[in-house]
Amino acid sequence: MGRVYIRTRLIVLTLAFVFFVTGCVGGDINPESKAPMKVPKSETPAKDQITIGFSMDTLKEERWLKDRDLFKEEAEKLGAKVKIKEADGDDTLQIVQAEELISKGVDVLVVVPFNAESTASIVNKAHTAGIKVISYDRLIKNADIDLYISFDNERVGELQAEAMTMLVPKGKYVYIGGAETDNNAHLFKKGVFNILKPSIESGDITVVFDQWTENWTPANAYSNMAAALGANHNQVDAVIAANDATAGGAIKALELQGLKGKIPIAGQDAELAAAKRIVEGTQIMTVYKPIRTLAKTAAELAVKVAKGEKIETDRKVNNGKIEVPSVLLTPIAVDKLNIDETIIKDGFHSREEVYQ
């Protein structure tokens, strides 16, 4: 009896051990089996984790900090990891950093290009490694990019010029452009001139100064504005600047001539400094581009692209090489009258910060 009992216990224990080590209670013992193994969540293979590489040109303007943080936040909500590199306005560095992301094997690459043309090499390298590329806010030109997500940037310029021509229908205009290397700078300018054209043709408006601002810096915008005032003996009626940072630089030049608040100036980005200037009357308008919507849309699409899902868009934008599937969000003109119901209502800036 004793022996039988011991043998039975041994068999039971051995079977229990086999079941324990194979972890196959209710599962599949045969490793060759076609049925998928049940893997507990905590042991999900690393491959299921999507990693997004985010290559950014700069964090200089206030908006890019929001872009960085919101993109990361939205992507993480979707279970993705984000590896961020910022090139501090250095073209070569951005390409090197993007190569690092590619060699680390990110699943998709999202790029805010410093230089619209030279970043095409990033796209080629990523594609060779089987990684798809999304152009974020700024278009990469002459490359097979997979998707472009931005605002309707031509409309941004139109909104600026519409507001300015309402206020100053006739006179001498100064245009302080953005960085020539940035495709957006060309779109903003195109929008402005779409609206100014009839008045230029009728002779009501004369554009007395029109220059790019290298690297978008306020210091270069200051020099441009100083040159515009110098060349026109301060006889200028309106200024349109390609963004709020360049508007800030131009306002310094106006201030030096005692013209701050006297010559109307428009910008875009809805930076806090610009919102404050609108309230105090030294800038007439800005253009608000809801960054959270951009970041959220980009994060959602990046995850889909990484999973190999097909993306349908209703817009296409020609980048000199292909018709790029595109999502273009709507910008909003902001002045003293609607600042509360736009940027403040959206929590882009708080009421206290703006009216401080």
State the residues that interact with ligand BGC by CB under 6 A: 58, 61, 63, 137-138, 178, 182, 184, 216, 243, 269
Calculate the alpha carbon distances from 342 to 65, 87, 208, 226, 351 in Å: 20, 32, 33, 33, 11
State which residue, 50 or 159, has the beta carbon closest to ligand BGC. 159
State which residue, 50 or 274, has the beta carbon closest to ligand BGC. 274
Taking the complex as a whole, the smallest distance from the CB of residue 290 to ligand BGC amounts, in Å, to 12
Taking the complex as a whole, the smallest distance from the CB of residue 156 to ligand BGC amounts, in Å, to 8
**Cα gap 213→191, rounded to integer Å:** 17
State which residue, 137 or 237, has the beta carbon closest to ligand BGC. 137
State which residue, 119 or 243, has the beta carbon closest to ligand BGC. 243
Helices then strands, each counted (H, E), the chain: 11, 13
State which residue, 61 or 99, has the beta carbon closest to ligand BGC. 61
Question: Within the chain, where are the H helices?
Answer: 2-22, 62-77, 91-103, 120-128, 153-167, 183-202, 218-231, 244-256, 272-280, 291-306, 351-355
Question: Is the C-alpha dihedral spanning 31, 37, 42, 46 positive or negative?
Answer: positive
Taking the complex as a whole, the smallest distance from the CB of residue 109 to ligand BGC amounts, in Å, to 18
Taking the complex as a whole, the smallest distance from the CB of residue 258 to ligand BGC amounts, in Å, to 28
**Cα gap 128→352, rounded to integer Å:** 50
Taking the complex as a whole, the smallest distance from the CB of residue 252 to ligand BGC amounts, in Å, to 17
Helix, strand, or coil here: 141?
A: coil
State which residue, 200 or 273, has the beta carbon closest to ligand BGC. 273
Per-state percent for the chain, helix, strand, coil, to nearest 5: 45, 20, 35
Taking the complex as a whole, the smallest distance from the CB of residue 348 to ligand BGC amounts, in Å, to 13
Taking the complex as a whole, the smallest distance from the CB of residue 294 to ligand BGC amounts, in Å, to 10
Report strand pairing: 286-288 vs 332-334: antiparallel
State which residue, 72 or 138, has the beta carbon closest to ligand BGC. 138
